[in-house]
Amino acid sequence: MAGITIDNVTKRFGAEDNAVVAVDDVSLDIDDGEFVVFVGPSGSGKSTLLRMVAGLEQQSEGDVVIGDTVVNELGPRARDIAMVFQNYALYPNMTVEENMSFGLKMSTDMDDDEIARTVTDTAEMMGIGNLLDDTPGELSGGQQQRVALGRSIVRDPNVFLMDEPLSNLDAKLRTEMRTEINRLQQDLGVTTLYVTHDQTEAMTMGDRLVVLNYGELQQVGTPLECFYRPANRFVAGFLGSPSMNFFEGRVDGGTLRADGFDYDLTERMQPSVGDRNAVVLGARPEDVTLRDDAGADCEFEAAVDVVEPMGSISYVYLRPTRGDREETFVVEADGQRPIREGETVGVKIPDEDVHLFDAE
Ligand code: ADP
């Protein structure tokens, strides 16, 4: 088993003068046994970063260290890693057992009996013990993905690398496999790097998230840290669904003047804003409440544009009645509450749920 260090790693594709910087000077320490999720939108550099750890891509600058070894010059086989992809990559003409034992036959000095035992034990653990004689074509997508996972587990690698392994599965299976991978990772305690563009997957898996955008590291932290204390507007907008609402404004003597409302910053917020003029106030839909009375906190009036009933809750899309803001913001309201499109309601963002960011 092994920790991983990514030290000032950059990857450029293409010619020097118009190269794409896929990964931009990323540094990261991953503990032995840790489950780390790389998350970000498509094209943010997640796969490239993973592939550099795997040895499938050579970094332009920086070092990758697995355990105590700088692996820059080592090919994938010499790195003692196992990779799981979204397209399973099972051998179609081999049985499940043959698929699972193939890597072991190629790369270990285990004898046939040992290999058969290891494969059977792993298949039992993965709930596919009864499928050993089937070929991939006879299996469902979920079963194939279990075989792909099983095949990497039997090799007992130092590190698991998973690149969107669940993205070909339907929603229900995805949820099931999420739980399964979490459980396996905990049981096996193998250092795992997991790539996903899906923020729900990121929030529910992994000890830490590494949030990327345009190849740059945005934040590293536990899912809850990244959700409740996002480092910047990008992270705040990326995690959470529906996305956080943003209100741009300027600070004037301790008051944030946004398009649609003024908000007196609390003492807690003032140092973080400092003398900056342009700021962005963020508030998650589930933190904004609809209310009738006025008080402290961040309050203003807004007109209801669209109501989207979801059952126990509804999403209410609103525009401030004051100012010129065209874009709606969204509030999660009690599904029982009668709200009519076109009516004016009071909106409140509690002080403790106000996030402030630099304007970009
Ligand atoms: P993600 O996994 O977050 O979707 P990628 O790591 O696949 O992002 O890609 C990051 C950036 O690098 C993208 O702009 C992508 O187009 C570019 N890129 C990835 N692989 C190559 C390649 N082999 N050649 C040229 N550009 C690439």
CATH at residue 288: 2.40.50.140
Domain co-membership, 213 together with 300: no
Query: What's the whole-number mean pLDDT along residues 135-140?
Result: 92
Domain total in the chain: 2
Domain co-membership, 225 together with 256: no
Query: What's the whole-number mean pLDDT along residues 321-331?
Result: 94
Residue whose C-alpha is closest to residue 84's, from 186, 24, 18, 157: 157
DSSP category for residue 215:
T
Burial of residue 336, with CB atoms counted within 10 A of its CB: 0-12 exposed, 13-18 middle, 19 or more buried: exposed
Domain co-membership, 142 together with 282: no
The pLDDT value recorded for residue 294 is 46
Domain co-membership, 186 together with 274: no
Distance of CA 241 to the CA centre of its chain: 13
Query: What's the whole-number mean pLDDT along residues 32-48?
Result: 97
Among residues 238, 270, 305, which one ends one of the domains?
A: 238
**Ligand 1 contacts CB of residue 18 (under 6 A):** no
How remote is the CA of residue 48 from the centroid of ligand 1, in Å?
6
ipTM of the complex: 0.99
**Ligand 1 contacts CB of residue 316 (under 6 A):** no
Tokens of 139: 């299996």
Instruction: Give the domain range for residue 123.
Output: 4-238
Domain co-membership, 76 together with 141: yes
Report the amino acid identity of residue 145: Q
Is 28 a residue whose pLDDT tops 90?
yes
Instruction: For residues 141 and 147, give the distance between their C-alpha atoms in angstroms, rounded to a whole number.
Output: 10
Domain co-membership, 55 together with 77: yes
Tell me which H or E stretch contains 7: strand 4-13
Is 14 a residue whose pLDDT tops 50?
yes
Is 60 within 8 Å of 26 (Cβ atoms)?
no
Domain co-membership, 130 together with 12: yes
How remote is the CA of residue 316 from the centroid of ligand 1, in Å?
37
Instruction: For residues 306 and 315, give the distance between their C-alpha atoms in angstroms, rounded to a whole number.
Output: 8
**Ligand 1 contacts CB of residue 43 (under 6 A):** yes
Q: Whose CA is nearest to atom 25 of ligand 1?
A: 13
The pLDDT value recorded for residue 220 is 98
- Longest CA span, the chain: 77
Q: Please state the φ and ψ torsions of residue 200, each to the nearest 5 degrees.
A: -65, -45
Instruction: For residues 205 and 339, give the distance between their C-alpha atoms in angstroms, rounded to a whole number.
Output: 36
Domain co-membership, 180 together with 42: yes
Domain co-membership, 84 together with 211: yes
Q: Whose CA is nearest to atom 27 of ligand 1?
A: 13
Q: Give the number of the atom of ligand 1 that is nearest the alpha carbon of residue 47.
A: 2
**Ligand 1 contacts CB of residue 45 (under 6 A):** yes
Which whole-number Å values give the CA distances from 254 to 25, 251, 311, in the listed order? 37, 6, 40
The pLDDT value recorded for residue 275 is 55
DSSP category for residue 94:
S
**Ligand 1 contacts CB of residue 228 (under 6 A):** no
The pLDDT value recorded for residue 156 is 86
Instruction: For residues 66 and 153, give the distance between their C-alpha atoms in angstroms, rounded to a whole number.
Output: 18
Domain co-membership, 324 together with 183: no
How remote is the CA of residue 273 from the centroid of ligand 1, in Å?
36
**Ligand 1 contacts CB of residue 22 (under 6 A):** yes
Q: How far apart are the first and last CA of the chain?
A: 42
Confidence band of 277 (pLDDT split at 50, 70, 90): confident
Query: What's the whole-number mean pLDDT along residues 258-274?
Result: 79
Is 88 a residue whose pLDDT tops 70?
no
Domain co-membership, 50 together with 109: yes
Tokens of 27: 């540094």
Domain co-membership, 265 together with 226: no
Residue whose C-alpha is closest to residue 344's, from 298, 292, 295, 294: 292
Is 260 a residue whose pLDDT tops 70?
yes
Among residues 206, 238, 270, which one ends one of the domains?
A: 238
Among residues 222, 238, 254, which one ends one of the domains?
A: 238
Is 251 within 8 Å of 277 (Cβ atoms)?
yes
Pocket probe for ligand 1: among 9, 10, 11, 20, the residue whose CB has the most ligand atoms within 8 Å is 20
Which whole-number Å values give the CA distances from 62 to 11, 34, 80, 98, 103, in the listed order? 9, 22, 20, 39, 30
The interaxial angle of helices 96-107 and 112-125, nearest 10 deg, is 130
**Ligand 1 contacts CB of residue 48 (under 6 A):** yes
Give the CATH number of the domain where residue 125 resides: 3.40.50.300
pTM: 0.91
